[in-house]
Amino acid sequence: MRHVVAALTASCESRCLFCCCPGLARIDIGRCSRPVRSLRRLRQTSHRIQGHGSGSTTTTLCKASGSWAKPSFKDVAQKVQRHFLEAAVPEFGVPYTDALQSFVQAGVAAYRSGYSIASINLQLQMARNTGVAAIDTALQGRQLQQDEIDLRSGWLATVYIALDAIKFPAEDSPGQLGLDQRLDIFARNVVNLAGKGYDMKRVKLQEVLDMDPITGPPRTPLESAVLSQAIRIVFMTLEAARQQRS
């Protein structure tokens, strides 16, 4: 964790992404640049594949249609990895909001299918490919650092916690939602605020933290990075769930 930047930029609040993780370089507002150590070479090679991100990136796993076909485990895992990297690396040419929304939709599909976060992480450890040749070529011979994997897991756990909070149906139990009790409390508090009519613009990071003062401020830069995006991810998850139920 030494290569993680020590402090979260004060102005980031709920809009910031990877300020704390130097290799995962992107935020949607302000386009601050932050390189990830393990992905530096990836960023150097990925400029050659910017055309990959053109057009809509919305995953087809979670279309809001009357019928829903359970996607394969491999397909879901690939989508989770692909959209996480698209959000992390601007050179892949996918707008941040689109990439994050696609990640959330892949997470909803994983939850609905009953696939656990642990099993997805294990699958991606054994087979890191995304199913997109351009991204897989850029990633060849490189591995995500543990803090980057933890960040991806934190995002996915946020999706799962939000869906569990609204009792979203799943074909099978997705297992343990995550080991971080703080994230669990935080995400559920955001769901509660949404249920009271708050929209994403009204919910501030510090406001949610103050709802549970016992836990105190974020303990690590990685925790700050996860919580800084948890509000956005929760609201995207609730919208994806609403569309599937309509």
**179-230 residue pLDDT tens:** 678 899 999 999 999 999 988 988 888 888 888 766 666 678 888 888 889 9
pLDDT the model gives residue 34: 37
**66-120 residue pLDDT tens:** 567 889 999 999 999 999 999 988 888 899 999 999 999 999 999 999 999 999 9
What percentage of the chain reaches a pLDDT higher than 90?
A: 37
Cα–Cα distances in angstroms (integers) from residue 199 to residues 191, 237, 240, in the given order: 10, 13, 15
Nearest Cα neighbor of 79 from 50, 55, 110 is 110
pLDDT the model gives residue 239: 96
Average pLDDT over residues 135-154: 86
Instruction: Name the phi and psi angles at 185, rounded to 5.
Output: -65, -45
pLDDT the model gives residue 131: 86
Instruction: Provide the number of structural domains found in the chain.
Output: 1
Total length of the chain: 246
Report the interhelical angle of 181-195 vs 221-245 (nearest 10°).
40
Average pLDDT over residues 168-176: 78
Cα–Cα distances in angstroms (integers) from residue 16 to residues 119, 123, 213, 224, 225, in the given order: 28, 28, 22, 10, 8
Alpha carbons within 13 angstroms on the beta-carbon side of residue 118 total 7
Model confidence, pTM: 0.75
Q: Does residue 77 lie within any of the structural domains?
A: yes
Question: Hey, is 165 helix, strand or coil?
Answer: helix
Q: Does residue 63 lie within any of the structural domains?
A: no
Q: Does residue 208 lie within any of the structural domains?
A: yes
Q: Does residue 60 lie within any of the structural domains?
A: no
Give me the chain's average pLDDT, please: 75
Confidence label for 15 from pLDDT (cuts 50, 70 and 90): very low
Find the angle CA(31)-CA(199)-CA(242) to the nearest 5 degrees: 100
Q: Does residue 4 lie within any of the structural domains?
A: no
Residue 40 has pLDDT above 90, yes or no: no
Q: Does residue 3 lie within any of the structural domains?
A: no
Cα–Cα distances in angstroms (integers) from residue 57 to residues 48, 53, 216, 238, in the given order: 19, 7, 37, 19
List the domain range (segments joined by +) for residue 127. 13-55+68-245
Q: Does residue 6 lie within any of the structural domains?
A: no
Q: Does residue 1 lie within any of the structural domains?
A: no
The answer to whether 131 touches 102, Cβ cutoff 8 Å, is no
Exposed, middle or buried by CB within 10 Å (0-12, 13-18, 19+), for 102? buried
The answer to which of 4-18, 42-56, 137-151 has the lowest mean pLDDT is 4-18
pLDDT the model gives residue 175: 66
Exposed, middle or buried by CB within 10 Å (0-12, 13-18, 19+), for 133? exposed
Average pLDDT over residues 20-31: 36
